Amino acid sequence: MRILGIETSCDETAVAIVKDGKTVLSSVISSSKDEFADMGGVIPEQAARRQIEYIIPTVTKALLTANCSIEDIDAIAVTTEPGLLVSLLVGRTTARTLASIWQKPLLEVHHTYGHLCSVFLDLDEEPAFPCLALSVSGGHTELWHRTSHAMGTKIAETRDDAVGEAFDKGAAMLGLPYPGGPSISRAAATGNPEAYSFPSPLKDERTLDWSFSGLKTALKYTIQENTDYNVNDIAASYENALCAHLVNRLQRATSEYNVQEIHVVGGVSANATLRRLLTETFPNHTIRVPKDIVYCTDNGAMIASAGYFLQSV
């Protein structure tokens, strides 16, 4: 079964064709993120305007790259929520129109569920269920207990900012370009993660939830109090604190849930420090991240995969 997946929830216009939920035949991503490098974040109206410009050429390119004609497509999957309203609308309207004129079923996919399926893309072996799945992006930070490709329960989430948002806002405070995750990582690569100390949020609470707003405030005060700060050291210390908080909760979760695998998905799963901390902390678990780094951030392939597994329940 070949599904064409459309993802337009933010500043990426992404279209892909995926066979049987796993084999990526094409994955095309047009992005306006470079336009926001100096803005500290996405300007919704500008991102939506680019979605309108990019969507049809991106659909066309995805079909051409996969060497598929319209007859080869069995269904169309699209992100319905959450995200920037007008950007989402561009994808939904395109998907509905194509489904109607091509006479294909339309599969509606929640963005987070799409990310959760990104670990199945181009995967040869079967994952071991049940597993824990950490989904970390600019819009959400959630922990899921998953029992199959399509089923699962959310067991924890952030009480305030998403971790990706903490990276993005932190980068803006440090004068580093948007998106903040990669730019903080680049600066952190030559910094000392122990140069500045940051608090451990919610450390005395028996919860699996996260809170990132305190770390963001701590960064603001660290910058104010150390006018001659070293940007690499502060980026490394902040990145380390964000990742340590993520891993700390996960450690608690593994003592409550008996699982062999931990999936880590979403834009922040591309982070090298997070990946290293996870491997060090969980030597007896399989840490599964998306096979290709491009499947960490928003893409159409994860939406096509999610559409496949949803309709096969």
Span interacting with ligand KG4, options 160-168, 208-216, 252-260, 303-311, rule CB under 6 A: 160-168
21 binds ligand KG4 (CB under 6 A): no
- Exactly one of 180, 191, 201, 300 binds ligand KG4 (CB under 6 A); that residue is 180
Q: How far apart are CA 147 and CA 133, in angstroms?
A: 10
- Exactly one of 31, 137, 240, 305 binds ligand KG4 (CB under 6 A); that residue is 137
What is the nearest approach in angstroms of ligand KG4 to the Cβ of residue 248? 17
What is the nearest approach in angstroms of ligand KG4 to the Cβ of residue 293? 8
130 binds ligand KG4 (CB under 6 A): no
What is the nearest approach in angstroms of ligand KG4 to the Cβ of residue 72? 28
Q: How far apart are CA 149 and CA 166, in angstroms?
A: 29
Q: Give the nearer residue to ligand KG4 in terms of CB position, either 37 or 56.
A: 37
Residues whose CB falls within 8 Å of the CB of residue 67, separated by 6 or more in sequence, listed in order: 25
Window 182 to 221, contacts with ligand KG4 (CB under 6 A): 182, 185
What is the nearest approach in angstroms of Zn ion to the Cβ of residue 278? 19
82 binds ligand KG4 (CB under 6 A): no
268 binds ligand KG4 (CB under 6 A): yes
List residues binding Zn ion (CB under 5 A).
137, 298
Amino acid residing at 93:
T
261 binds ligand KG4 (CB under 6 A): no
- Exactly one of 7, 168, 233, 261 binds ligand KG4 (CB under 6 A); that residue is 168
- Exactly one of 5, 21, 181, 193 binds ligand KG4 (CB under 6 A); that residue is 181
What is the nearest approach in angstroms of ligand KG4 to the Cβ of residue 242? 8
Q: Give the nearer residue to Zn ion in terms of CB position, either 79 or 211.
A: 79
267 binds ligand KG4 (CB under 6 A): yes
Sign of CA dihedral 19, 21, 26, 30: positive
Span interacting with ligand KG4, options 73-81, 173-181, 209-217, 276-284, rule CB under 6 A: 173-181
Q: What is the 3-state secondary structure (H, E, C) of the chain?
A: CEEEEEECCCCEEEEEEEECCCEEEEEEEEECHHHHCCCCCCCHHHHHHHHHHHHHHHHHHHHHHCCCCHHHCCEEEEEEECCCHHHHHHHHHHHHHHHHHHCCCEEEEEHHHHHHHHHHCCCCCCCCCCEEEEEECCCCEEEEEECCCCCEEEEEEECCCCHHHHHHHHHHHCCCCCCHHHHHHHHHCCCCCCCCCCCCCCCCCCCCCECCHHHHHHHHHHHHHCCCCCHHHHHHHHHHHHHHHHHHHHHHHHHHCCCCEEEEECHHHHCHHHHHHHHHHCCCCEEECCCCHHHCCCCHHHHHHHHHHHHCC
142 binds ligand KG4 (CB under 6 A): no
What is the nearest approach in angstroms of ligand KG4 to the Cβ of residue 218? 18
Site residues for ligand KG4 per CB under 6 A: 10, 137-139, 164, 167-168, 179-182, 185, 266-268, 270-271, 297-298
